[in-house]
Amino acid sequence: MSRVKKGVNALKTRRNVLRSVKGYRFGRSKKERQAYEAISHAGAYAFAHRKDKKGDFRRLWNVRMSAMLKSEGLSYSKFIPALKKANIALDRKILSQIATEHPETFKKIIEAVK
């Protein structure tokens, strides 16, 4: 078996790893072993928090709509089924946007549901 000098490949890998951890603090930005670990953790957190973000925004939209609905004397839990019954196919994101930016339009939607 002949000997393989991995100098070029090893340096290329190291360079790419250290480039991807640029801006990290302490040894994580300078030492290859710590950088590998930092990358793997960063990837795991990024994946998990992308999933969490969807739920966070849905909760935010619900709170925004609920605040507007309370002033009209209606609860969120009664409003959503009434929307479905009235065949109004607007999702929560759009409804919360309407509630915050165009309250008069949101009031018309509430009247259509009542």
Write the burial class of residue 32 (CB in 10 Å: 0-12 exposed, 13-18 middle, 19+ buried): middle
Is there a domain that residue 1 lies in? no
pLDDT digits (tens, 9 = 90+) for 44-95: 999 999 999 999 999 999 999 999 999 989 999 999 999 999 998 999 999 9
pTM of the model: 0.68
Is there a domain that residue 23 lies in? yes
Is there a domain that residue 2 lies in? no
Residue 72, domain extent: 7-113
pLDDT digits (tens, 9 = 90+) for 79-92: 999 999 999 899 99
Is there a domain that residue 22 lies in? yes
Q: Are 34 and 20 in contact (CB under 8 A)?
A: no
CATH assignment of the domain containing 108: 1.10.1900.20
Is there a domain that residue 97 lies in? yes
Is there a domain that residue 75 lies in? yes
Total domain count for the chain?
A: 1
Complete DSSP assignment for 40-109: HHHHHHHHHHHHHHHHHHHHHHHHHHHHHHHHTT--HHHHHHHHHHTT----HHHHHHHHHH-HHHHHHH
Q: Is residue 36 very low, low, confident or very high in pLDDT (cuts 50, 70, 90)?
A: very high
Q: What average pLDDT does the segment 9-21 reach?
A: 93
Is there a domain that residue 16 lies in? yes
Is there a domain that residue 29 lies in? yes
CB atoms closer than 10 angstroms to residue 91: 10
Q: Which residues of 46-79 are buried (b: 16+ CB within 10 A; e: fewer)?
A: eeeeeeeeeeeeeeebbebbbebbeeeebeeeeb
